[in-house]
Amino acid sequence: MFKSLLLKGRFLGLLLCCLVSSLVVTAQTKYKGKVIGSDDKLPVVGASVRVKGTSTGTVTDVNGEFTLTLSPGNTLVVSYIGYQSTEVKVGTDLFIRITLQSGNSTLNEVVVTGYTAQRKKDITGSVSVVNVATMKTVPASNTASLLQGTAAGVTVVNSGNPGANTTVNVRGVGSIFNTTPLIVIDGVQGSLNDVNPNDIESMQVLKDGQASIYGVRGSNGVVVVTTKKGKSGAATITYDAYYGTQRPLKDGFKLADTKTYVEAIYESYKNSPKDDGTSPLADGNPQYDPGKTGTWTIPDYITPAGAKEGDPNTNPSTYLLNPSVTDNQITRANKQGTDWFHEVFKPAPVQSHNITASGGSDKSTYLMSVNYLNQQGTLLNTYFKRYSVRANTQFAIGPHIRVGENAYIFYKRSPNLSNNQNEGNAISYIYREPPIIPVYDIKGNFAGTRSGSLGNSSNPVAVQMRKANDRNNNWDITGNLFAEVDFLKHFTIRTQFGGTVDNYYYYYFTVPAYENSEGNTATNGFTEVAGYNSQYTWTNTLNYKQQFGKHSINFLAGSEAITTYRRGIQAGGGNYNISFDPNYVTVANGANPPSVAVDQLFDAGLLSYFAKLDYQFDEKYILGATVRRDGSSYFAPGQQWGTFPAVTAGWRISKESFMKNISWLNDMKIRASYGSLGSLAGVETQLSNAYTLFAQSYGNSNYDITGTGNKTVPGIYRKQLGNPATSWETDKIKNIGFDATLLNNKLDFSFEYFEKSVTGLLFLSGDPKYSLAPLDVEKRPYINGGNIKNKGFEIVTSYHGNVGSDLKFDLSLNLSHYSNKVTDLNGQKYLDKNSAGSTRIQNFVRLQPGQPVGEFYGYKVIGLYRDAADIAASPTDGNAKPGLFKYADVNGDGKIDVNDKTFIGNPNPKFTGGFTMNLSYKNFDLNAFLYGSFGGKIFNYIKYWTYFPQVFTGNVSADILGPKVWKPGADNSQATIPVLTRTANADNTGEPNSWYVESGTYVRLKSLTLGYTIPNSKIKALGIKRLRFYLLANNLFTITKYTGLDPELQPSNLTDNTSFGIDFGNYPAGQKIYNIGVNASF
């Protein structure tokens, strides 16, 4: 079916291209001109001069002059930063004098809003225009991270891990699954994670029904990125570079030293009588009291357990460590304590170099850029390297035909680092590995928990060192080709074909961890994965623009076909007895036969037709309408097509006669929009909603195919059930806004309110009728069931001013608020989610109608039981003991049980915002950028490991013996931390409760930049147009009450919106960075 639909789309494109024969040819003449500023009457150097509606243009030279081949009746669009853009109609005078008015109004700024462009003042939908210059003041390996605080309504959560993906949500959480916005780069779907920030010309975020022009892909918002193009004129070469150092957090997790740790462990034994009432101390402790003296001591050695200096078994001559079996490892105790955080987190360099060459004539333009980025991570053996090349060219074939291309090629490399948000990685091992363990044993091999009573953690240095040879490689090509033709005076036809090809290859080694109490198998392993993803997009549009007196019409119609294909393979080998040298290991040369390959095959298509109409009367009344019809192969026949309309309206009040005498008002507009969009939600991230025919497996499906009864072979089984009734999630978005420009264009203000309703939520069914062995819940079919509502408001304001002629400043502030709630779950009362990815603490995230997505659920802690009298006076609690958690009797029935669980914290922030200050004084410039997130809660899972030593005998918090810990016989009136004990679950650590929940509010100085531009008179003789040096500091301070590493937390599962606000120990995003940089133009 889709092949025939694609043929229809191609036919439409070819039919439009045939209209080239309708070209209108007019005579052209060479014109000259000069651009000056209204404030100082001096030439404006580098001003953009373009022919409206075409790619023909140039820039002014050092005298503010330009030359272009034009026709009478052409309109020139002239713009330069710090001046208001202006339009000049070309007449018969061959010399054109143009004066740009000083001011910072952005009303005439052109904004790309979906296959077309509009002046900012004509927009009636909700569009955030990102200040690209400000955004680039924060160096980052990931462009998506630079959106944080620069666009109202956009929530961004970063990771400190170099090259890691960034979590981006537009106007909150609108689904259970992935809600990442659509990223469109030069008309092709792409990823912000891989774009070179130096290549970006402009960036806008579509947030309301106006995104319906992108149909099913636009339900979570659309980020539209336009990369730089060449300009007519002499060749220009720019060099932008910075070099700096990243500094790990100073305090780390605030963990105990060895003395505090040993004393805490001993206290926990003392506070835990055995069933017969005797003290467990009488049995001694293999590490801290091997002689059963009743007094704790720090041993000289931990392996052998509790050994003293001079013991025969600590003689170095008896040391024997086989690479696969530990026979007699000897490890001295670190009596001062190992600072595991600073053993794996070290200062690390970062550098970036970018060279761009651009230029052209009135017939053609070009731009080429080359970038090298190398960011070493502060966490041992983490890094990100990227090499990229971009080439953008455009050619004018006569006055009405334009063709061009945009190509971006990059290679990136990083270690194969798994998501850091879980309990089994180097960061979590920092707080789980006891401080008494040193990094190395007496022979320089890794030390660990193999001795008794040291828990089951791993040496974090060993974990990261063993990743040194892991590699994750990507080679990507993305770009497009286009042709554009003007005909019949008011029509433009455009066809564009583009796409992305991503080739990936990674491998990793499994090294025996001989020093550990668990996972110390002697078997090594090697795994290789390879594959590629491709997506191609063919877009054809017909655009009609016309002005009838006071009436203005802009109509667009088009078609788009998108195909997606993915294929991959994975295999592994093991037991490399001869050599485990990374240079020689392959899947096939291990002693164990290669594992059965796991392959991925995926093919999908999307076919769309769309139209858009914008109408204005007298620049006063503005109407817009959009419709898109999408057909997707993700759904079964009968459910594949969806239609998504939107309407907008605007009233520029400042144009009314009754407003003309208000001198302080430059522009005022009220606008509103309503739109309907669709969403693929989790269906797209899970690759397919279709019934999967088979999968190979030895364990899930095998049978005796030979009939001999002694051979097992892989069989086939149904891996996933499809659902022919599944269809789109439907999003309906309402938006009303108000924009004003005041005080001679010095003050801009914008306010908008929105509501978003999502119906037919897509999620995996938990219905027992789908329990088809060996299926688990992740392989059940998708169903539509449940609704979510979002609402909120956004405020954006900026002020542009000056003090005299030398001091200029720009101040801008944006503030966003949103709230969401589940309104239906397909009739279910609630849905519990094990979103932390762990069963250590029982499910503590609950979806329930009337509550926000991802809210924490558990007992409300109202204190600790002080003594037996307190227990007797409190509601009945079967687990009540002095020094343990005291829970609220929420339902008032006089007893504590599961019916008293309640909602204990909402991870969604109530407000997010950014404040930017730009100052310039003569040749100096200063930029400061603050970001804040307010009202969100964090479930601090780290407390589970560091305050309850009976859990796994790992490290403990530095204040574990402090006055806030309940102690037998003490006053305890100020105690908030439960008693130290060895009794399993005596403190209800396995139960979720509000004690783990903390405030996630923070304010962070994201960047502070001081720059100096060398006067042109001093460098002109050297052939340098501009030379600027700067100093940049990032994350200089963070104000927060959160006790964890960093309040900026990514979800533990990036595709599950119920898993955010949970802290296992994240790779901190708030590390300080100090850079020195240069910007040079030649």
561 pLDDT above the threshold of 90: yes
Reference 182, options 436, 437, 472, 560; nearest CA is 560
Q: Are 68 and 58 in contact (CB under 8 A)?
A: yes
402 pLDDT above the threshold of 70: yes
Among 214-228, 263-277, 758-772, 958-972, the minimum mean pLDDT is found in 758-772
Reference 400, options 21, 87, 13; nearest CA is 21
pLDDT at 1037: 94
Residue 69: other Cβ atoms inside 10 A = 16
Q: Are 997 and 856 in contact (CB under 8 A)?
A: yes
Residue 590: other Cβ atoms inside 10 A = 21
CA distances in angstroms from 946 to 342, 447, 980, 1036, listed in the order given: 18, 21, 11, 28
pLDDT at 27: 56
Among 3-17, 214-228, 446-460, 877-891, the minimum mean pLDDT is found in 3-17
b/e burial code for range 678-694 (CB count within 10 A of at least 16 → b): bbbbbbbebbbbbeeee
697 pLDDT above the threshold of 70: no
Q: CA–CA separation, 866 vs 278, rounded Å?
A: 23
Average pLDDT over residues 1040-1052: 90
Q: CA–CA separation, 847 vs 832, rounded Å?
A: 6
User: Apex CA 986: angle with CA 982 and CA 987, to 5°?
Assistant: 100
Residue-wise pLDDT for 911-922, tens only, equals 999 999 999 999
Average pLDDT over residues 713-718: 53
Options 3.20.20.70, 3.90.700.10, 3.40.30.10, 2.170.130.10; CATH for 110-232 is 2.170.130.10
Residue-wise pLDDT for 295-316, tens only, equals 788 999 998 888 889 999 899 9
Residue 184, token pair as written in the block: 């469109």
User: Apex CA 1043: angle with CA 1040 and CA 1046, to 5°?
Assistant: 65
Q: CA–CA separation, 533 vs 540, rounded Å?
A: 24
Among 315-324, 776-785, 800-809, 998-1007, the minimum mean pLDDT is found in 776-785
pLDDT at 692: 45
pLDDT at 41: 65
State the pTM of this model: 0.87
Residue-wise pLDDT for 29-51, tens only, equals 889 998 987 765 667 777 888 88
b/e burial code for range 363-384 (CB count within 10 A of at least 16 → b): ebbbbbbbbebbbbbbbbbbbb
pLDDT at 17: 40
682 pLDDT above the threshold of 80: no
- In DSSP terms, 935 is beta-bridged to none
Contacts of residue 3, Cβ cutoff 8 Å, sequence gap at least 6? none
Between 201 and 279, name the one with better pLDDT. Answer: 201
Reference 981, options 959, 956, 948; nearest CA is 948
Q: How confident is the model at residue 723 (pLDDT cuts 50, 70, 90)?
A: confident
Phi first, then psi, for residue 740 (nearest 5°) are -145, 145
Per DSSP (E only), the strands in 522-656 are 525-548, 551-574, 598-617, 621-632, 641-652
pLDDT at 459: 95
Give the full edge-to-edge strand order of the sheet including 57-59: 57-59, 48-51, 75-79, 86-89
pLDDT at 273: 74
Q: CA–CA separation, 149 vs 660, rounded Å?
A: 35
Instruction: For residue 800, count CB atoms less than 10 angstroms from its CB and return exposed for 0-12, middle for 13-18, buried for 19 or more.
Output: buried
CA distances in angstroms from 826 to 546, 764, 857, 1059, listed in the order given: 49, 12, 20, 21
Q: CA–CA separation, 463 vs 428, rounded Å?
A: 11
Q: What percent of the chain has pLDDT over 90?
A: 47
pLDDT at 1060: 85
pLDDT at 794: 96
pLDDT at 179: 79
pLDDT at 836: 52
Q: Residues 653, 657, 662, 667: what is their CA dihedral angle, to the nearest 10 degrees? A: 30
Q: How confident is the model at residue 504 (pLDDT cuts 50, 70, 90)?
A: very high
Among 297-311, 315-329, 760-774, 1012-1026, the minimum mean pLDDT is found in 760-774
pLDDT at 18: 37
pLDDT at 1046: 93
Q: Are 157 and 142 in contact (CB under 8 A)?
A: no
Q: How confident is the model at residue 695 (pLDDT cuts 50, 70, 90)?
A: very low
Among 504-508, 760-764, 787-791, 893-897, the minimum mean pLDDT is found in 760-764
pLDDT at 279: 66
Residue 1061, token pair as written in the block: 């606000």
pLDDT at 325: 56
pLDDT at 87: 87
Reference 234, options 61, 77, 382; nearest CA is 61
User: Which range is most confident: 73-77, 613-617, 1015-1019?
Assistant: 613-617
- In DSSP terms, 406 is beta-bridged to 392, 480
* H helices, E strands: number in the chain: 10, 56
Q: How confident is the model at residue 965 (pLDDT cuts 50, 70, 90)?
A: very high
Among 40-54, 599-613, 1019-1033, the minimum mean pLDDT is found in 40-54
CA distances in angstroms from 957 to 425, 944, 947, 967, listed in the order given: 19, 10, 6, 16
Among 85-99, 426-440, 805-819, the minimum mean pLDDT is found in 85-99
pLDDT at 827: 82
pLDDT at 461: 97
pLDDT at 4: 45
Sketch the domain layout of the chain as residue ranges. Answer: 26-100, 110-232
Q: Please check whether the domain covering 26-100 is classified as CATH 2.60.40.1120.
A: yes
Average pLDDT over residues 797-818: 92
Between 1070 and 61, name the one with better pLDDT. Answer: 1070
Q: Which residue's structure tokens are 């230029």?
A: 359
778 pLDDT above the threshold of 50: no
User: Apex CA 900: angle with CA 894 and CA 906, to 5°?
Assistant: 145
Q: How confident is the model at residue 502 (pLDDT cuts 50, 70, 90)?
A: very high
740 pLDDT above the threshold of 70: yes
Among 191-200, 268-277, 969-978, the minimum mean pLDDT is found in 268-277
Q: CA–CA separation, 739 vs 275, rounded Å?
A: 73
689 pLDDT above the threshold of 60: no
Average pLDDT, the chain: 84
860 pLDDT above the threshold of 80: yes
pLDDT at 20: 36
Contacts of residue 403, Cβ cutoff 8 Å, sequence gap at least 6? 394, 395, 397, 481, 482, 483, 484
Q: CA–CA separation, 814 vs 696, rounded Å?
A: 53
595 pLDDT above the threshold of 90: no
